[in-house]
Amino acid sequence: MSKFNAQWHLAHVMPKHSTDQQRAQWHSEHALHCGCRAIAPSIAKLLKANGYEVPETLVARWNWRPIHPDARGPREVAH
Ligand SMILES: [Zn+2]
C-alpha cells in the first residue's frame, strides 16, 4: 500500500528558490493530494505563518489537512 501520489509530485515540483509562501502553498496542496509524509512541526510552523490553520494535536501525523482562510466557508467540518 502506498500513499505516494507520483502524478501529483510530477506536476508539483517545488521551485528551487521558493518563498515561504510558495512552500506553505506546496505543503498544503501536498497534504490534500498526496500525504506521502507526515507534516513536521517545522512545516506546521511555516503553514501557520502563512495563515493556514494547523491543529497542534495533529502535527506530525499523516492524515490531516491544513485549512487556508480563503477556503473557509459553509463546508466547515464539526468534530
Ligand atoms: Zn507526496
Specify the pLDDT at position 56. 87
Which residues have a beta carbon within 5 Å of ligand 1, which is an ion?
Answer: 34, 36
Task: Indicate if the pLDDT at residue 76 is higher than 60.
Answer: no
10 CA distance to ligand 1 middle (Å)? 10
**Residue 5 domain-assigned (yes or no):** no
79 CA distance to ligand 1 middle (Å)? 26
Specify the pLDDT at position 73. 55
Q: Which helix or strand (DSSP H or E) is residue 49 part of?
A: helix 41-49
63 CA distance to ligand 1 middle (Å)? 12
**Residue 36 domain-assigned (yes or no):** yes
3 CA distance to ligand 1 middle (Å)? 7
HEC readout, the chain: CCCCCHHHHHHCCCCCCCCHHHHHHHHHHHHHHCCCCCCCHHHHHHHHHCCCECCHHHCCCCCCCCECHHHCCCCCCCC
pLDDT in tens, 7-51: 999 999 998 999 999 999 999 999 989 989 889 999 999 999 999
* Range of the structural domain that residue 30 is part of: 19-71
Count of domains observed in the chain: 1
Task: Indicate if the pLDDT at residue 75 is higher than 60.
Answer: no
Task: Indicate if the pLDDT at residue 1 is higher than 50.
Answer: no
pTM for this one?
0.79
